Structure formats: C-alpha cells, structure tokens
Amino acid sequence: MTRVALVTGGASGIGRACSEALAKQGVKVVIVDINAAKGQELAQDLGGAFIEADLSKRNGCQTAIEETVRLYGGLDILINNAGFQHIDPIPDFPEDSWDDMLALMLTAPFLLIKYAWPQLIKSGQGRVINIGSAHSLAASPFKAAYVTAKHGLMGLTKVVALEGGEHGLTCNTVCPAYVRTPLVEKQIADQARTRGIRPEEVEEKVFLENVAVKKLLEPSDVANYVAYLCSADAWGITGTAQTMDLGWTAR
C-alpha cells in the first residue's frame, strides 16, 4: 500500500528535501506551507499535493489534516518541520514573536498530531518526525522562544511515543546543527553585513564555533535520515532525540 506523508513547511529547505526523499521512496507527499508558489511547483514535480495553510492558526492545522485525508484517504507519516527564527535578548524580545513562534513550532505539532491521531493509528506503522534542533538539547542566548519551542518538542515526542507504541506508531525528534537552507543563508548574509566580515567568516566564526565537524549540514543529510526513521526498519526507534549536530552537544 502506498504510504501518505504530510510535510509542514515543505516548500523550502529541510521540508523540501524531506518531501523529495520520501517521494523517492514511493511515498505520496502532501506539502503544507504558506508559500503557495513554491509549494505548488514542488508538489507537481513530485506527483503529490499542495495545501496552502497557515499552521500558526488552529483552523490551518485542521484544514491540513482534513484535506489530506479527503485527497488520499489516510495519513501514515507526519513531518512537523515548519518554523522560523527570531533573535533578540529577553528584555527586547517582541511578545508577538514569542506567541507566533510557539504557535507554529510547538502548538501546531501538537494539534496536527491530535487531529491526525486516528489515521496514524489506523496505519499500523505511523511515523511522526519532529524537526527539532541542537537547540532541543542546548541553549544559546537571544533565542528564548526558539529554544523553548524546540525543547518543548522533546516532551511532546516522548508522550506521543508512549501513547502510540502499542499501535506501531513511533515518534522522534531529529536535532540538527546548522543546515544550509534559505533560513540560514539569510542569517549568514545579515550577520556578514552587521559585523562587516565575509559570509565565509560568519560561517566559520559564528555558525561552526561550537561544533567538532566544521561544515554546515545540507538539507539532504537531514532528509535522508528522516526517510530512514520513516521506514519499516526503524520500528524500534521511538521517543528519542536523534542528534545530527556535528558534535555540538558532545561538550
């Protein structure tokens, strides 16, 4: 039976690479994103579907699941990936950004899992992969909402693993260090401007400062691992943080 996957934030970066890797394995992929132009184009290329939805809103999450089930009759794999960054010290941290980040990066994964639960259980080999971060395990200054949301995902991961286990449902959080995506390319360019140094120096001095392997990950590195965790072979891996952090949290 062809499996069905929903990838949030699938129009760009890690989500895009996950959509491609799963489609390569013969999975029907549903991309959910606010970027309709890019999402539609990719869905067409992959022979899947695109749903435009703002997942920071409860009805966006509901629509995403309902529409997927209407299109393909079920859901086997949920990849909670959509996200963004906001960087400011706590006294200046805009309260709206806190609300927006927790809505998209913590509440939406919970709601999507809740709404998809009957389908994930019916699947018999349901898979939930949350895209966390090294910031699911360690903190950095100026990223209060991001670090909080990514740590929160770990708690959700463990509860879903415990409740889903008897139904063959696994849930894991993949925790990468920096990945070369549009989100990170923009941060590198911004910091190069602010600091008056070359982008290569920003990579080396800022983004790779804490890691043992001095190289940014590529989206496909994360996606190939996600595809493995979605496979039948990974049935025994659940409730875990899967670190791909170039040695960051080994310190």
Residues noted as catalytic: 146
Instruction: Output the smallest distance, CB 232 to ligand NAD, in A.
Output: 25
Instruction: Output the smallest distance, CB 122 to ligand NAD, in A.
Output: 25
Instruction: Name which of 118 and 182 has its Cβ closer to ligand NAD.
Output: 182
Residue 193's CB is within 10 A of a number of other CB atoms, namely 11
Instruction: Name which of 151 and 167 has its Cβ closer to ligand NAD.
Output: 151
The residue nearest ligand NAD at its CB is: 13
Instruction: Output the smallest distance, CB 211 to ligand NAD, in A.
Output: 12
- Positions in the binding site for ligand NAD (CB under 6 A): 9, 11-15, 33-35, 54-56, 81-84, 104, 131, 133, 176, 178-179, 181-184
Given a contact cutoff of 8 angstroms between Cβ atoms, the answer to whether 1 and 25 are in contact is no
The C-alpha atoms of residue 89 and residue 123 are separated, in whole angstroms, by: 44
Instruction: Output the smallest distance, CB 124 to ligand NAD, in A.
Output: 28
Instruction: Name which of 15 and 164 has its Cβ closer to ligand NAD.
Output: 15
Instruction: Name which of 121 and 192 has its Cβ closer to ligand NAD.
Output: 192
Instruction: Output the smallest distance, CB 16 to ligand NAD, in A.
Output: 7
Give residue for tokens 């390319």. Answer: 185
Instruction: Name which of 31 and 123 has its Cβ closer to ligand NAD.
Output: 31
